[in-house]
Structure 1
Amino acid sequence: MTRETILFVDDEDHLRLSAEQTLHLEDLDVTCFSDAATALSHVARDFPGILVTDIRMPGMDGLTLMAKVLEIDPEFPVILVTGHGDVDLAVQSMRDGAYDFLEKPYAPSRLVTTVRRALDKRRLTQENRALRRQVGARDTIEARLTGRSEVMTKLRAQVRAIAATEADVLIQGATGTGKEVAARAIHRASARDGKPFVHINCAALPADLIESELFGHEAGAFPGATRARFGKFEHARGGTVFLDEIDAMSQPVQAKLLTAIQNRTVTRLGSNDPIALDVRFIAASKQDLEAEAAAGTFRPDLLYRLNVVTLRIPDLEDRREDIPRLFTHLVAEAAARYKLPIPEIPGAVLTAVAARKWTGNVRELRNAADRFALGLDLDIGNPASSGAEGRSLADSMAEHEKSLIAASLTAHGGSLKDTYESLGLSRKALYEKMQKHGLSRGSFTDEG
């Protein structure tokens, strides 16, 4: 990662030397210039640093320099250094886009504090930009199925392999894990992208209308059927039919669905003429359909037709190391959806989010991210370690430790120094714990 640099501009030699020594003592990189034009040549939109400039200088003055810098990047932090008589001018400059100002003579500690705050702001700006580029550049599957845990990496590989085929798919997972998201990712990454994706919630269809909704009907097929109507299966021609909560279907409808899947035809109510279907079926259930089939509540032959390929979506509890980065990603999505700036997420919030038990899985985490993006209070009680039923204390504590380290790494962009200092560990201790939990620094940086 490129080191953050402070561009310091002043035409007085002793002030440049003093600022350089002060900032170097604080382990901050600074490059000094005696004129504005030379400093301006170093500024670029993605420059990882800030500008500190005197206002009164021969040639190009500090205000002109600031205006030119903000033309290159309106979010570039500029700190103005003023004489006693220029305070009103500096205040007006802040309305014009300056980040802050320092009045001569300023204490070295004041310079360091102001510079650090400006660098923090610049870092956040660049992280937000990198996140937007990341979201825009990632392939469809990566963007929809976010996470760097082993189970999510494996799931994405399975989805990529499945998307390239025409095989029907059964997706199983608990409520809120993202079964529909996985189904849409398969559709978007397949040759059927651009054709309809028809989502059918089987549990929400009225029992007396379900056949008409799925298969369509001819005029006069039943009282009130005044004209012929396409069913949802026909509407999906060329695309994908997603049968959500398929276990809610009655046995008679399951039999008709089996025929449709097996023959790739559909017969409207009131007709004897089969209509060819060019669709792919993806079904989803939060129930174990094999157990349902064994109990006689789900047709075994339909199960065997559907589960040519079976995907199992993991609970959030099974990929806790993904929670901090996933929360960050969902906050960015929410901010874009509500047309708001992406808020800064304090490390303490990420730590608390990582420690919480998300019984509603990604859906519950998304709701929390929406509230955070809207500036609402975030209820982050109920730590995960207190609800780890059926697990030993050692396992629960290890999982909790892993999620806290992942949260801190996420909050600090993969910086080991900032992470071990925030956690009160030595560098060696942090490294050993990362090795123990299978955490890699590269997974928490933009390059990762």
Structure 2
Amino acid sequence: MTNTVLFVDDDEDLRRASAQTLSLAGYEVQVTEGGAAAMREVHGGFDGVIVSDIRMPGMDGVELLRQVVAHDPDMPVILISGHIDVPTAMGALRTGAYDVLEKPYSTEQLIAAVERALERRRLIVENRQLRQAAPADDAEPLIGHSPAIVQLRRTIAQIAPIGVDVLIQGETGTGKGLVAEMLHRASRRRGPLMAIDCGAMPAGLVEAELFGNVADAVPGSRMPRTGRLEQGNRGTIFLDDIDALGDSTQLAIQRVLERREVTPVGAIAGRSVDLRVISASSVDLETLAKSGRFRLSLFYRLNSVILRLPPLRERREDIAPLFRRFVLQAAVRLGVSPPKLEARTFRHLEKHDWPGNVRELMRFSENFVLGLSDHDLDADARPGPPDLKGRLDAFEAELIEEALSEAAGDVTRACAALGVPRKTFYYRLQKLGIDLAKFRN
């Protein structure tokens, strides 16, 4: 998070006094004596808030404002002047100034204006980072840099065009449906992707749903019907939760795989179909088959290629990028700005085991955008058996809070007492969730 202020004024005494005021308030301060020097800092990568006098020799504050807005219209600029009139102030605000302060301004006025501007800048930077973290399109929706996910993407790219049948195994919420969609999109098949939830079909009508039926073959239905498998002709069939099928239906599916032929209920002859079959299970299908709870012969027909999706707890390095992507998606969908990302949010992401995997993380991200995630975050704060890292963090937080208390919130004195650089100190404050304001009050 940015915490830097660039103070621009040709008055050396005012520069020094204002820099000291802002530094004591906990900000990183850079100073320049004119607009041209300030623009060199901006072009050099400065990312914070600019406070500038209006009347200066050479490039004045208004021209500096115009050039900053042209470079980055979201960079807050606060203008100050001892001789400002209403038209000048209104013109500066229309040009893009964040605020205008009239000299002599109080310390509280300056700090309050800077804090508001920095908060706006932090939100803008976070939004940019969220958008950069999200892919520009859905060409690569399987997000993550963990070795397992990188290898999974490679395997999908290799097997998708071949047309081989695939068995996807992974816990609930790991993205089996997403992988099936990726395989279908990258294939050469021109038919539809027909997704079938095997555990949700009406009892007693499973075979009619899958294979269709001829007229009068199913009680209560006098009309013939085309089954879901035949509807997917020349496309891809995705059988989700295939382990939920009964033994007789498993046998019928096996025949489809062997013959590429569908026989509707009540029909004498089968109908040829051009299908690629992707099946999925949230349990280990081989173990299920060897224990007699799933047809072993069908398992061997399904497992031409097996893709195993790792649970989220086994690829923790992917959790934060996924969270940022989901937060941005939820914010765009709901028409709101993404909330500020706090240290306690990342602590929850790190500590939680995510038994619902990516689906649970998506739910948490949406609740976070809606402001409904406090219960989850508060639950994380409840004391549990402390591990070594937790004990070290608690000890470090105690030392920092003690130093801040003795220094009455003065960051410079606290850093000197602890012997740490200011940048490191602010990073640890954010990481440990320490509120600097309560020590200043």
Q: Fold conserved (TM > 0.5)?
A: yes
Q: Please, which of 345, 348, 353 is the counterpart of residue 349 of structure 1?
A: 345
Structure 1-normalised TM-score? 0.72
CA deviation string 1:303-336 (max 9, x = no partner): 1111112222222222234333322222112112
User: Which position in structure 1 is the counterpart of 2:154?
Assistant: 157
Distance 2:187 2:212 in 1: 27
Alignment: residue pair count: 399
Greater alpha carbon shift after TM alignment, 201-210 vs 74-83: 74-83
User: Which position in structure 2 is the counterpart of 1:179?
Assistant: 176
Q: Secondary structure at the match of 2:135?
A: helix
Identity %: 42
| Mapped pair 1:33 → 2:34 | yes
Distance 1:86 1:289 in 2: 77
1:41-440 maps to which residues of 2 (within 5 A)?
48-55=47-54, 66=65, 74-83=73-82, 98-106=97-105, 111=110, 114-115=113-114, 118-119=117-118, 121-137=120-136, 140-141=139-140, 144-192=141-189, 195-380=191-376, 381-383=378-380, 397=387, 419-420=427-428, 422-423=430-431
- The structural deviation recorded for 1:206 is 0.8
Q: Secondary structure at the match of 1:76?
A: coil
Higher RCO (CA-CA < 8 Å; seq separation 6+): 2
Q: 1:238 to 1:400 in 2, by over 3 A?
A: farther
- The structural deviation recorded for 1:351 is 1.3
Q: Secondary structure at the match of 1:303?
A: helix
CA deviation string 1:199-240 (max 9, x = no partner): 211110012222222122333433444444332222223332
Letter of the structure 2 residue corresponding to residue 52 of structure 1: V
Gap regions ≥5 residues in structure 2 = 395-422, 433-441
CA contact (8 A) 1:171 1:311 kept: yes
Q: 1:364 to 1:87 in 2, by over 3 A?
A: farther
Distance 2:28 2:179 in 1: 46
User: Which position in structure 2 is the counterpart of 1:445?
Assistant: none
Distance 1:208 1:181 in 2: 29
CA deviation string 1:79-105 (max 9, x = no partner): 222437658975897698643443323
Q: 1:215 to 1:98 in 2, by over 3 A?
A: farther
Q: Secondary structure at the match of 1:151?
A: helix
Q: 1:382 to 1:133 in 2, by over 3 A?
A: closer
Q: 1:423 to 1:128 in 2, by over 3 A?
A: closer
Greater Rg by CA: 2
Greater alpha carbon shift after TM alignment, 230-239 vs 56-65: 56-65
Greater alpha carbon shift after TM alignment, 98-107 vs 345-354: 98-107
Greater alpha carbon shift after TM alignment, 240-249 vs 273-282: 273-282
Structure 2-normalised TM-score? 0.73
Gap regions ≥5 residues in structure 1 = 388-392, 405-414, 425-448
- The structural deviation recorded for 1:342 is 2.0
Letter of the structure 1 residue corresponding to residue 153 of structure 2: R
Q: Secondary structure at the match of 1:203?
A: coil
Distance 1:400 1:306 in 2: 46
Distance 1:209 1:402 in 2: 60
CA contact (8 A) 1:140 1:189 kept: no
Q: Please, what is the CA RMSD of the aligned residues?
A: 4.3
Distance 2:193 2:13 in 1: 65
Distance 1:93 1:48 in 2: 21
